[in-house]
């Protein structure tokens, strides 16, 4: 009796699926979304070749496209490229092990290619292996691996992959400014840093924030002792069950005398927490990260946000892919010092927040001007966290020394490597 239960159910599945597959496309739905699957329309394409097909580029985002942080900065850059060139973006967000179990980024990249993408952007360090695999398996598809170093000839992991490009902004400057703003505004001299996971990138950025904080702490003649502590949550954002909750980490900082917390993760969840605690009577300030409008979450406690502006570099790379002048290269773009927040020229920028006092704005502007004039905080003497000399007196760090910083710096609290 019950034996046929499954048989019928499964047969019906097939039936219904076949029906929905054969059925005509929904009449009222805009058909534009699914146009031109590249595979099965060579004949019509040949006939209607005249209007130039827009160049389609795909983007794999590690977090939600509207995360108010790292992924949104990429997504907005995609919109920027669309606007500037008429190219068309397709994207898939939440590409991470927790949100899309059973898939791999290279597999998902192929889905984008199946939808017509001729170039795919992998937006996270987490997708580095997958981007290499994908680029090698699909030599006719252009690949941009953001934040990676695979095709840096001077890098430690150099591989020759002609269809792959690395793009990254010199966020070290943004973090120095962030650290400066934090040190200027802290009344306790204790600064917390919300770290994601420990790798080369996060070490050098955390260290840059520390260098900026230290410089401005001295510059402003603060009487407190500077304390700079990083707590790593384990991933770029909170994944329940897998990472520490960054909101809890922020709260721990704020309630133990760290009155400023700098976000180093893919979003700025320290902001709402700072506002909540401030409202409850614990004055708390926050520095956001990644996304130009990140301060909007809680402007009254926000000291500012160092942000990525991927647009100009993506524009150049996508244009080069479209016109055939593509060149595999490692791009590490700095800010446009003549106009730090210029949308069309500066790879990184810094937006000052409402919580920064007028007096501190003046000092911060002075610091930014010094950086623009050539001040390099990556100048010795600098020791690593365990006391090992890293840069001798007066020695300026090379790009490699900064990129591959092996430990945190002397004076910083927190883990230098995962245990």
Partner 1 sequence: MLKSRFSGLLFQIIALALSFGVVSLILISIDASPTEAFRNMFKGSFGEMRKFAEVLVAFVPLLLVTAGLLVTFSAGLWNIGVEGQVVLGAIATTWVYRYFLESDLPPALIITLAILGGMIGGAIWAAFTGILKVFGGVNEIFGGLGLNFVATALTIYLIFGPWKRPGVASMSGTVPFPDEFSLPLLANLRISPWALGIALIAIIIVFFLLQGTYFGLKLKAVGKNFRAAYLLGIPTWQYAMYSFLICGALAGLAGAMQVAAVYHRLIPSISSGYGYLGLMVAMLINYQAIWAIPVALFFAALNIGSIQLPIVMKLDSSLSGVLQGVLVLFALLVEGARQKFIKKGQNT
DSSP 17-81: HHHHHHSPPPSSS-GGGG---GGG-HHHHHHT-SSPPPPEEEEE-SS-TTSSSHHHHHHHHHHHH
Tell me: does residue 157 bind partner 1 (CB under 8 A): no
Rounded least distance, CB 105 to partner 1, Å: 9
Return d(Cα 418, Cα 374) in angstroms, integer.
34
DSSP 206-243: HHHHHHHHHHHHHHTT--SPPEEEEEE-SSSS--TTTS
Region binding partner 1 by CB under 8 A among candidate stretches 101-109, 144-152, 290-298, 377-385: 101-109
Strands 389-391 and 382-383: antiparallel
Structure tokens at 19: 């029906």
Q: How many residues bind partner 1 (CB under 8 A)?
A: 65
User: Which residue in the set 36, 220, 226, 239 belongs to the binding site for partner 1 (CB under 8 A)?
Assistant: 239
CA-closest candidate to residue 404, choices 199, 206, 210: 199
Tell me: does residue 42 bind partner 1 (CB under 8 A): no
Rounded least distance, CB 409 to partner 1, Å: 16
CA-closest candidate to residue 180, choices 366, 309, 358: 366
CA-closest candidate to residue 274, choices 266, 263, 285, 265: 285
User: Quick one: which H or E segment has residue 132?
Assistant: helix 128-137
Rounded least distance, CB 9 to partner 1, Å: 5
Tell me: does residue 59 bind partner 1 (CB under 8 A): no
Q: What is the dihedral of CA 6, 11, 14, 19, to 10 degrees?
A: -130
Tell me: does residue 26 bind partner 1 (CB under 8 A): yes
Site map (CB under 8 A) of partner 1, residues 337-356, x = contact: --------------------
Tokens 């097909």 belong to residue: 53
Region binding partner 1 by CB under 8 A among candidate stretches 119-127, 342-350, 377-385, 393-401: 119-127
Judged by CB under 8 A, the chain residues 369 through 388 that form the site for partner 1 are: none
CA-closest candidate to residue 405, choices 269, 223, 203: 203
User: Which residue in the set 82, 111, 227, 300 belongs to the binding site for partner 1 (CB under 8 A)?
Assistant: 111
User: Which residue in the set 257, 272, 406, 411 belongs to the binding site for partner 1 (CB under 8 A)?
Assistant: 406
Q: Which is nearer to partner 1, 138 or 282 (CB)?
A: 138
User: Which residue in the set 56, 73, 92, 303 belongs to the binding site for partner 1 (CB under 8 A)?
Assistant: 92
Tell me: does residue 51 bind partner 1 (CB under 8 A): no
Rounded least distance, CB 296 to partner 1, Å: 23
Tell me: does residue 29 bind partner 1 (CB under 8 A): yes
- Give every CB contact of residue 400 below 8 A, 6+ residues apart in sequence: 154, 155, 156
- Interface with partner 1 by CB under 8 A: which residues? 1-10, 12-14, 16-18, 20-21, 23, 25-26, 28-29, 33-34, 39, 90-94, 96-98, 100-104, 107-108, 110-112, 114-115, 125-130, 197-200, 234-235, 239, 241-242, 406, 417-419
């Amino acid at each position: 009796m019950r034996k046929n239960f499954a048989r019928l159910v499964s047969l019906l599945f097939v039936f219904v699926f076949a029906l929905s597959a054969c059925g005509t496309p929904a009449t009222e739905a805009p058909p534009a979304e699914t146009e031109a699957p590249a595979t099965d329309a060579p004949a019509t394409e040949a006939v209607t070749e005249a209007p130039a097909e827009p160049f389609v580029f795909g983007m794999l985002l590690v977090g939600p496209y509207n995360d108010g942080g790292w992924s949104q900065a990429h997504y907005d850059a995609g919109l920027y490229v669309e606007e500037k060139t008429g190219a068309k973006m397709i994207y898939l967000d939440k590409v991470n092990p927790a949100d899309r179990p059973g898939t791999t980024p290279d597999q998902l990249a192929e889905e984008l290619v199946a939808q017509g993408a001729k170039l795919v952007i992998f937006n996270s360090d987490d997708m580095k292996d997958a981007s290499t695999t994908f680029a090698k398996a699909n030599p006719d598809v252009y690949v941009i691996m953001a934040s990676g170093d695979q095709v840096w000839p001077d890098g430690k992991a150099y591989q020759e992959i002609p269809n792959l490009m690395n793009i990254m902004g010199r966020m070290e400057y943004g973090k120095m400014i962030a650290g400066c703003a934090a040190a200027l505004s802290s009344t306790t001299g204790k600064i917390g840093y919300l770290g994601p996971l420990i790798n080369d990138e996060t070490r050098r950025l955390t260290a840059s924030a520390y260098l900026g904080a230290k410089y401005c702490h001295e510059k402003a003649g603060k009487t407190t002792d500077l304390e700079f502590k990083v707590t790593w949550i384990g991933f770029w954002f909170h994944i329940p069950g897998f990472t520490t909750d960054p909101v809890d980490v922020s709260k721990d900082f704020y309630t133990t005398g760290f009155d400023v917390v700098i976000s180093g993760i893919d979003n700025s969840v320290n902001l709402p927490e700072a506002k909540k605690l401030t409202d409850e009577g614990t004055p708390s300030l926050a520095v956001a990260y990644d996304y130009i409008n990140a301060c909007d979450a809680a402007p009254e406690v926000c000291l500012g946000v160092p942000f990525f502006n991927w647009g100009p570099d993506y524009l150049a790379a996508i244009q080069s892919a479209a016109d055939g002048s593509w060149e595999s290269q490692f791009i590490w773009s700095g800010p446009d010092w003549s106009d730090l927040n210029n949308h069309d020229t500066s790879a990184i920028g810094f937006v000052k927040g409402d919580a920064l006092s007028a007096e501190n704005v003046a000092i911060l502007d002075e610091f930014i001007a010094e950086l623009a004039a050539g001040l390099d905080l990556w100048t010795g003497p600098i020791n690593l966290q365990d006391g090992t000399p890293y840069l001798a007196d007066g020695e300026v760090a090379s790009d490699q020394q900064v990129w591959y910083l092996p430990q945190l710096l002397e004076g910083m609290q927190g883990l230098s490597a995962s245990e």
